[in-house]
Structure 1
Amino acid sequence: MIPRLFISFSLVCLSVLTTSCGLFKPEEPAKAKAVLYEWADDGGPGEISVEIDLSEQIATYKRGDRVIGWSFVSTGKEGHSTATGDYTITERLPLKLSNRYGWIADAKGTVTNGDAKPTTPVPPGEFYHPSPMHYWMRITNYGIGLHAGEIPRPGEAASHGCIRLPRDFVPKLYEVTKVGTPVKITRGKPRLSRPGTLG
Structure 2
Amino acid sequence: MGRVGNNEPQVQETIGDSFPESEQPVTKPRSQAPSNNKPQKNSPHTGGGEEDDDLIVLNNKAWNSNLFDCMNDPQNALITACFPCITFGQIAEILDSGNTTCATSGVLYGCIAFCIAIPCIMSCTYRTKLRAKFGLMESPAQDWLVHYFCEWCALCQEYRELQHMGYDPAIGWPGNQAKMRQHQNQQFGIVTYRTFHTQNLRKN
Whether these two folds match at TM > 0.5 is: no
Structure index of larger Rg = 2
TM-score, normalization by structure 1: 0.21
| More helix, by proportion | 2
Bigger strand fraction: 1
Structure possessing the higher relative contact order (Cα contacts under 8 Å, 6 or more residues apart): 1
